[in-house]
A and B are shown apart, each in its own frame.
Chain A
Amino acid sequence: MAEITMTQALNLAIDEAMAEDDGVFCLGEDVAAKQGGGVFKITSGLTEKYGENRIRATPISETAIIGAAVGAALAGQRPIAEIMLMNFVGVCMDQIVNHAAKLRFMSGGQTPCPIVIRTTTGVGVGFGGQHSDMLEAWFAHVAGMHVVTPSNAADARGLMRSAIDANDPVVFIENILCYGLTSEDPGPGYRVPLGKAAVAKEGTDISLITYGRTVLDALEVAGELEKEGISVEVIDLRTIAPYDEATVLASVNKTGRALTLHEAVRPFGTGAEIAANIQEKCWDKLKGPVRRIGGTFSAVPFATHLEQAWIPQKSDIVNQIKVSVGKA
């Protein structure tokens, strides 16, 4: 079967959802054919098929973009709104948090808000302090929405279809460095359910819980440590919130040790929530403290060596695992 990149996977998922349902449409800055189909080409070729009403290139107006998505969703459509880079959510948090996430609840269930907010980010491409942050914890802290991020192309295709199907807002985070990753194409109609983690690698000594780009680091480290006799189980959350607690707890109950890993800064990150939950629910199975790795607690720096030093280091993942299993 053919291989596809994550870029192609996302494009295919959106394309087939638009073909099946006239209510699905995209809006965002530069997304239409005239502008080249999006800065990362995710909506490339779709204007030609579905027209400019369904691939709406917008002004640089994040509040208006998300507001429009919210309104259209209330009227029964399924908008896919693109916020070009994740830091720009700062411009439209009111629409996302006070409106999209809360309208189902505040209306007593009358007005669900099925929107997908696609957004891109990632450390390691030299974009500096305002174009690189992973801000998933901001949204994970808000009731009424799903937060999703794929670590491979096949999951990207399946998670995007499920995000478009969902009857609630979904923040869909794409990591710039993952767009070129390839998978075997899972084919049309493929879905990965929201709220379901994947055991990316089975292991017995420690559970390494992560998502997005750092799944790649986790798998690489797990492969190396296997040679040293340390068996690491890698959990790819895929849905960050609400996350698959059952899979995480089952893994930790088996291994007795846990390490959380994310690119986002460590303090008050999603890893802290997951670690606290593990300590409450797996206490009698734990052989040691749950440890956390995250990005450095500063703005993402520009100079390449600074940026590389900012990111969670593979050597640190190795060290933390070795400390946890008593082989430091």
Chain B
Amino acid sequence: MSPRAAAARTRAPLVAVREVSVAFGGINALNGVSFDMQQGQILGLIGPNGAGKTTLFNCLSRLYQPCRGDILLDGDSILKRPAHKIAEIGIGRTFQNVALFGNLSVRDNVRVGAHARSSSDIVSDALRLPWVRRGEAKTNATVDEILDYLALHEVADLAVAGLPFGTQKRVELARALAAEPKILLLDEPAGGLNHEEVFSLGALIRRIRDERGVSVLLVEHHMGLVMSIADHVVALNFGRKLAEGPPGAVQNDPEVIKAYLGSKQP
């Protein structure tokens, strides 16, 4: 456990997931799941396919409404906010299969990421009034800094649809960072990446946590990545929490092993 995360133990949790249940028709996608996430933590959320990881993610970004339970950010419930008011309280996310704005340039994608951190109205925008120019200058400065940070300057003016998958994933990360999130939800960031790319992704996620003070909730199939960078791991299966704790302990938990490998035939 990093010193940062250890210090965080004593404070109130950044995110508190309380008895959250989600049902689709008769199927319980999530069934009374609870855990805490501390400030500055990298929390790995693992589980086999269909365990409810993405469902939980979608509750956090308010795409799904839990039928029971609550989710608190800094002690306040987020469940009363509509989905488009989640970015402004500091929850940013990436998507499982990359959901970029394909026709826009890399720069414009990241600019849209800053939407929640700026304000304007259509009349001032159409007339490009002085405060609109000032706002755009501020947004552009933020965007430039992030493009530099993620080494995207060279492709900044290209449309994202034509870029390699690995680069698109970095653009998505840049877009999420432009909203200056407190907590970053990464949905299978290693999916579709090769071995080296996964390795550098791990280092990058750590750097983002350490240098930008962003807590990270990571859903990932790639066990190597989760075990190497997470401070804390929560394992789900069939919508229930199986185990929770430091990576080593969860990895060796008999229930978790059983969920991944199946039980021995008698």
A binds B: no
